[in-house]
């Protein structure tokens, strides 16, 4: 009787350990996927910005959020355990487009959220806004 009980104890400890490891892994994958999706979305939005953009949030293209969301979905499409849940597109006074992407990643111990934020300047606004040949990073 001791043999089957000790095997059951060992299996339960291993199952808990594996659940912790897999959940930690999916959390890290979710964080990396959020950052990658934010980077892809920022690139997609800055590709839409016209050359005469006045660096205001009101003059961003109308479909900027839709384009950012589609880029985030395309970037995370290969990851079955990661789904984007929110996308936000902003602009600031330094002619930067700021995109934040929130994702949810499912592990064995539940779902975790992660946030990725990317900042990018359109090529046409890089030197013009700051009167410098090379713009500093966002």
| Residue 25 CB-density burial (10 A; 0-12 exposed, 13-18 middle, 19+ buried) | middle
Q: Dump pLDDT digits (tens) for 28-41.
A: 888 999 999 999 99
The order of strands in the sheet holding 97-107 is: 82-91, 97-107, 110-120
* Predicted local distance difference test score (pLDDT) of residue 134: 47
pLDDT > 70 fraction of the chain, expressed in percent and rounded: 88
| Structural domains of the chain, ranges and CATH numbers in brackets | 2-125 (3.30.1300)
Nearest 5°: phi and psi at 52?
-95, 30
* pLDDT exceeds cutoff 60 at 10: yes
Distance CA 71, CA 1 (A): 58
pLDDT band at 125 (very low <50, low <70, confident <90, very high): low
Q: Dump pLDDT digits (tens) for 56-88.
A: 888 888 899 999 999 999 998 888 778 899 999
Distance CA 127, CA 60 (A): 19
In order of 22, 29, 44, 129, the CA distances from 70 in angstroms are 28, 20, 9, 28
* Predicted local distance difference test score (pLDDT) of residue 27: 84
Phi/psi class of residue 59: alpha, beta or left (left: φ > 0; alpha: ψ in -120 to 50)?
A: alpha
pTM over 0.95: no
Orientation angle between helical segments 2-48 and 64-76, nearest 10 degrees: 150
């Amino acid at each position: 009787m001791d043999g089957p009980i000790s095997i059951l104890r060992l299996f339960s400890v291993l199952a808990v350990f594996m659940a912790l490891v897999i959940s930690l892994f999916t959390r890290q994958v979710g964080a990396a996927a959020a950052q990658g999706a934010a980077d892809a979305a920022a690139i997609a939005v800055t590709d839409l910005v016209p050359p005469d953009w006045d660096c205001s949030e009101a003059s961003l293209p109308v479909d900027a959020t839709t384009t950012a969301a589609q880029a985030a979905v395309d970037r995370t499409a290969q990851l079955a355990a990661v789904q984007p849940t929110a996308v936000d597109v902003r602009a600031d006074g330094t002619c930067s487009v700021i995109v934040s992407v929130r994702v949810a990643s499912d592990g064995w111990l539940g779902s975790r959220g992660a946030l990725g934020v990317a900042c990018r300047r359109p090529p046409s606004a890089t030197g013009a806004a700051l009167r410098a040949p090379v713009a500093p990073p966002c």
